Amino acid sequence: MRVLIVTFLAFQSLNHSKPWPKQFDAPQAKWTELKTSSGYNYETNSYLIIANQKIKQSTVDEITTLTESVRRALVLFPLQLIVKGHQDNKKKHIVRIFEKESEYLNSGTPKGTIGYFDGSSKEVKVSLEHLIETKNKGSNLQPRQRYRLLVHELIHQAMGDQFHALPTWLSEGIAEYFSALQYAPGRYKFRNCSKQIIEHLNTVWLHGKQSIVEVPPIQMLTKMSTHTWAKDTRINEKKAYAKYASALFLTHYQMELASRELGGLRKFLENSVINIHEHRNKSVHFRPPDQTILWKGKSLKKIELQIYEYWKKKGLDIHFTGKIQTTEPNEN
């Protein structure tokens, strides 16, 4: 076990030497199509995409390129965002695409979701209806396929054990971060990305109608469990995205303003991976890393103020006053 940890730490030192990526443009993925009794399978080097209908070639080109890009984008960073499992090179990752939302929900996905990563089966499930962005009012441009939802779920899938080991807000924040920074299928920009994040928020949530953006306070966000997060999404559907936005702001703060100067996020992720290895190889209870490492002695209110001031200059007026819904409407 000691040899494993020493080897792992040596790998981490190599990771530190990586430069922060500016952008990533994935090459066009190669794929094959197979008609099945229940639909069509589209297979790439690393993925098996299962659809209950035939998807047009141009869309398959985009989806397959996007799926193959996700893991490659994650490993570009000088941060431990991905942990390789024992089966990574033996099994293809599965993505199931349903033609209609009703079919997606009938497959057993949680109510209130439009995309889902199943931690048990390791499969991603999405509805094709939600992969196409709604046309903006007053625009003559046709809806674009940006696949933000698919990127989000694929990030969860690619992170694997790391997805389960991190606090919910950070797992969701990293998924939203990559979802926002993909500007075309399989193409990402990682520098000076505030405009992309604002565009992302306007598309999926704000729609240019809100002058004040209310999101949950950091202290509330960092205490949310996976169960609490999912429950709020289910019973507070109209305002459920606020916590994702808050997680995105906090993740951007860590990714853009702290980690490049060897901030707390890097150490936090490294500790998390060590804990994963110990849990897997020693069968010991997983110990979540201490989140205080992330704040580097700053109060959460101070960090909220820094986030507020940064985004105010970019045109977003963020107020950390949003609420989380954890009680059913008919509960006492």
Mean pLDDT by 10 residues, the chain (332 residues): 44 62 96 97 98 94 96 92 64 94 91 88 91 59 70 94 88 96 94 90 85 93 92 86 96 81 80 83 78 90 95 95 68 49
Q: What is the pLDDT of residue 239?
A: 87
Q: What is the pLDDT of residue 329?
A: 52
Strand 115-118 relative to strand 182-184, pairing = unpaired
Strand 93-98 relative to strand 123-127, pairing = parallel
The Cα–Cα gap between 285 and 281 comes to 11
The Cα–Cα gap between 206 and 219 comes to 23
Instruction: Report angle CA 100, 102, 103 to the nearest 5 degrees.
Output: 70
Q: What is the pLDDT of residue 175?
A: 97
Q: What is the pLDDT of residue 288?
A: 79
The Cα–Cα gap between 125 and 52 comes to 12
The reported pTM is 0.89
Q: What is the pLDDT of residue 246?
A: 97
Contacts of 25 by beta carbon, 8 Å cutoff, 6+ apart: 186, 187, 188
Residues facing residue 41 across a β-bridge:
34, 50
The Cα–Cα gap between 87 and 89 comes to 6
Q: Identify the CA nearest to 269 among candidates 158, 119, 166.
A: 166
The Cα–Cα gap between 320 and 309 comes to 12
Q: What is the pLDDT of residue 332?
A: 45
